[in-house]
Structure formats: structure tokens, C-alpha cells
A and B are shown apart, each in its own frame.
Chain A
Amino acid sequence: MGFPYDSATWDVVDGAMFMGAGSAMTGIYTLIAAGICVYVLWAGNRSEKKQYEKAEK
């Protein structure tokens, strides 16, 4: 987390310049984002099933 270079100036930036660059946070963010997608599919399916059950009554 934080600025990924030793000095807090854009003058030293010569590569990756995003939050979490060079740290394990990139993987953690990726994992959380993927988890959100999986959760939404699970929750969306559950909600969709309920709506179909209502229509069948």
C-alpha cells in the first residue's frame, strides 16, 4: 500500500504506478474481485430461483 517508490515524487516513477504495485496487494485485490464475481453469480442464481418459484405458484 502507499506510493510504490522510495521518494514521494513522480520524477522517480519509471514503471508500474498503481496502488499496491510491487506488493502482495495486487494478488489480494485480484482474489477479492474474483470472489465478488463468484458470489454475485451464486446470489443472483438464488434470487432468480425465488422469482421463478413465485411465478409457478
Chain B
Amino acid sequence: MEEQIAELTAQVAALKGSAGVTNTMFAETFYYLTIPLMIIIHAGFLAYEMGASRMKNVLSSGVKNILAFAFMVPTFYFFGWWVYWGFPTGFTFTAGPAGISGAEYASSIALGWGESAQYMGPNIADQASGVFFGAFALFAATTASIMSGAVIERIQTVGFVILAIVLGSFAWVVAAAWGWHADGWLVTKFGVHDFGAAGLVHAVAGFFALGVLINLGPRIGKFNADGSANHIAGHNMPLTVTGLMLIIVGFWGFLMACVIVPGEAWSWFADKPATIYGTPITLSALSFNILMAIAGGIIGAWIYTKDPFWMMSGALAGIISTASGLDIYYPALAFIVAFSAGVILKPCATWLENRGIDDAVGAVTVHGTIGVYGVIMLGVFASGFPALQGAAGEVPTINLIGQIVGAVVFFLLGFVPGYVVSLILKSMGMLRTPEAAEIAGLDPVKVPAQGYPEGIPASAAASD
């Protein structure tokens, strides 16, 4: 009898071990696969920006975009990852209630030297740090790419890369530490809920771009002497629209990476997935709401513009407007919010253009304005939902005032560094390309290759 019990105990232990290995491999694979999906976002931004550029600037726009990705990864490795873990409690750098923040904690896991280096490279006992780092580095690259499209055809390459580093490896990371971390003060003190990063990624990036655009100025020929605007068409609308669709494909990976899988030592729960705040979520919730949001955004933009560029931008706006609450929206409500975002998209872009801002791809509106709109809309509809995991009365709840505070902070975290750093670059002569280069085209000036060496076939030109 005792022998049988011992045998059963051993078998149970072996089964537990086997299940644990399977779960750990599943968790690691889950985040690993979000990385190539998010690289699709970058492929989308690349196509989108190149299509929105005139032929004389197409490769220069591509170079800029590729470099944003390339510099984001190492700089996020050098200090961005530390910022996420070090900043949640604000500038005190102390540990928060969950005990996974502060300078001491960040220095123990996120520096590429000393003891913490063991978590910053291959480690058979750590199957989480690398995939989490990878997912966050791709969040960073996405954020920098959002600004990239707005400034095409007249920004200097290195000046742009510096701005991308400030945005992607610092500004949005501070926003994430404050509003997208269980110890973040916006979460613990104001109940801010931004599951899919409408504010801390999109609004920060969109308004960072606005700060840059003010100092950068419009492209030559964009505005007439009386202040009226001209439309500067990109050379390839199908490429732009396809790029937008690729961004939407990649966003499934982005939003999937916002889910904390169960069953690991670092998981919120043993048996159910959670958001980064420890509140429950399912991939089914994401499927319902993302699809309805995409549809709502497209339909809203179509009814107002009939333009495929704005329709696909509407799809993005649909996701962004509901991103804060994709975990808890009812799908029909997600559709309504996304539809309204699609409708207001073009008027908001026109309003900005009428104020002399030349945003070549509408990034300030799609990401900034709609990001803030989404954060606030969640406060309107989700007030009273617990914002964090914990007992009733002990955790903050989502509320409109908290969401407005979050929106203001995200706006400032984007706009202020964007404006200040671009102003410094401008004073150093590193922001804007010289007029002669802009008129000649940036490709012939600084790219040793041609986008279309054989030209565009006559049959592809519009017929009379």
C-alpha cells in the first residue's frame, strides 16, 4: 500500500513538473510570437510612409523609418527597460505597493552590467525577461514610428533618430511606468485604466509629433501666402493603404502582448489571464472588441470622407479609441465609440491643418487626438470598474476625472519633450533639411539608390 502511494505521489509530481514545463513554454512562446507580429506594424509604417512620400523622397522616408527601428532596440536595452521599472512611483524612484518598481528594483533586473546582467541575456533559468523585453522594445519601436510619418519629406535623418530615441526609449516609457504598471501612480492614485495604451503610446506619440511639427514647420508648398493649405499627394496611395492594413494586422500582436498569461511565478493568477493591472481579460474579449472597433472606425470614416486613406486611418482610430477598455467594452459599444472616432477623424485633422500644422499622414489626429478621446471615453462608460486587482474598497476604480487626469499627463509627456528636444535640435541646425535639398528631393541628395530607376510605366499613369 505504502509503495503504491509513493508511486502515485511520484507520478503526480512528474505530471505537475510536465504541466509546468508546458505552461512555461506556452508563456514564453506567447510573448515571443507577439514580436514578429509587432514587426508587421513596422512593415506597415514603412509602406505607409513611403507611399505617402513623393517619388523624390520615397527612399529617404524608408531609411528614416528603418533607422527608428534599429536605434530603438539597443537604446531600449541600454536604458528604456530600466525606465519602465524605475519610474512607476514618479520621480521618487521608490518601490510601489506591488514591490516591483523603483530604482533599486530596476537596477537589479534591467541593467546590462553587474548582477542584473543575468536577466539581460541568455539564461536557462529565466524564460520570461527576454520575451518581455522584446515585446516592450517593439512597443517602443511602434511609438517612434507613429511620429515618423508626420515629419516626412523635410526632417534631417539624425535629428529624427534622436527624437525617436527620446520618444521611444524614454517619453512613452515614463508614461507606461506611470499608467501601465501595477505600481504606477496614475493607476494607484487615480484609477487610470489604459489596457491597450491609447494614451500612453498613441497620445504620447501623437502629441510628441505635434511638438516636433511646430518647430519643424510645413513642407515647402504646403501652405499658400493666405494661409490656405494645399494637398501634397503621396506617390502611391495603394502602398499607403496596404501599409495601414499591415499596421492593423500587427496590432493584434501589440494588444496580445498586453495580456499577462496565467500559471507562472510572475503571473497574476494561476488559472486565468489578466491585464497588466491584474484585472481579468480574455483573448476572446480582444477578438470581439478589436474587430468591432476596426469595423466601426472604417464605417465612420467612410460616411464622412469616402476616401480609402481615411477609411484605413479610421480602422486605426477605431482600435485606438477603444484600446483603453478593450478588456471590458461590450462589442456594440466598442463599435459605437469607434464609429464616432472615425467620424471626427477628418474634421480634427482639417482643424489642425487650418492652424498651419503640416502633419503629412494625420498622425497627430489619429494617434494623439483619438488616443486622448479613447482614454476619456473609457471614463465616461466604465466608471466604477475596479482599476486594479485587489479587495473591494482597497483598490481604485475607473472614473472620469482619473481618466481626464491620465489624458492630460499623457498629452504633456508627449508634447513637452517633443517640443523641447526639437527646439534644441533646431537651434543646433539638426532639425530641418535645407531648402535646396527639400526642393531637389531627399533621395537624390542623400540616398545612394533610386526608388524607381526605370520610372513609372506610362500605363500606370492616370488616363484622361
Contacts and interface: CB of A to CB of B under 8 A. Distances in A.
B26 to A, nearest CB: 22
A3 to B, nearest CB: 13
Contacts of B162: 41
Contacts of B446: 48, 51-52
Given A26-B113, A55-B445, A37 B123 contact: no
Contacts of B223: none
B384 interface: no
Interface in B155-184: 156-159, 161-162
Contacts of A29: 112
B194 to A, nearest CB: 30
B118 A48 contact: no
B102 to A, nearest CB: 22
Contacts of B71: 37
A22 B120 CA distance: 12
A26 B121 contact: yes
Interface in B420-447: 430, 433-434, 436-437, 440, 445-446
Interface size class of A (residues with CB under 8 A): 20 to 34
A56 interface: yes
Contacts of A54: 445
Interface string B134-170: 0000000000000000000000111101100000000
Given A30-B78, A55-B445, A48 B122 contact: no
Interface string A37-57: 100010011001001101110
A24 B114 CA distance: 7
A18 B121 contact: yes
A28 B124 CA distance: 23
Nearest to A28: B113
A20 to B, nearest CB: 8
Given A41-B158, A56-B434, A14 B117 contact: no
Contact of B436 (A14, A18, A21, A55): A55
B74 interface: yes
Which residue, of B74, B114, B158, B434, has the highest number of chain A Cβ atoms within 10 A? B158
Nearest to A22: B118
Contacts of B121: 16, 18, 21, 26
A16 B123 contact: yes
Interface string B63-98: 000000001001100100000000000000000000
A26 B114 CA distance: 7
B265 interface: no
B117 A27 contact: yes
Nearest to A53: B434
B108 to A, nearest CB: 14
B125 interface: yes
A14 B74 contact: no
Contacts of A41: 158, 161-162
Nearest to B113: A27
A1 interface: no
A27 B433 contact: no
A16 B445 CA distance: 47
Given A15-B118, A16-B117, A37-B78, 7 more contacts: A22-B118, A26-B113, A26-B114, A26-B121, A27-B114, A31-B113, A52-B436
20 contacts: A15-B124, A15-B125, A16-B121, A18-B121, A21-B121, A26-B112, A26-B113, A30-B78, A30-B117, A33-B78, A37-B78, A44-B157, A44-B158, A44-B161, A45-B156, A45-B159, A51-B437, A52-B445, A52-B446, A56-B434
Interface of A: 13-18, 20-22, 24, 26-27, 29-31, 33-34, 37, 41, 44-45, 48, 51-52, 54-56
Interface of B: 71, 74-75, 78, 112-114, 117-118, 120-126, 156-159, 161-162, 430, 433-434, 436-437, 440, 445-446
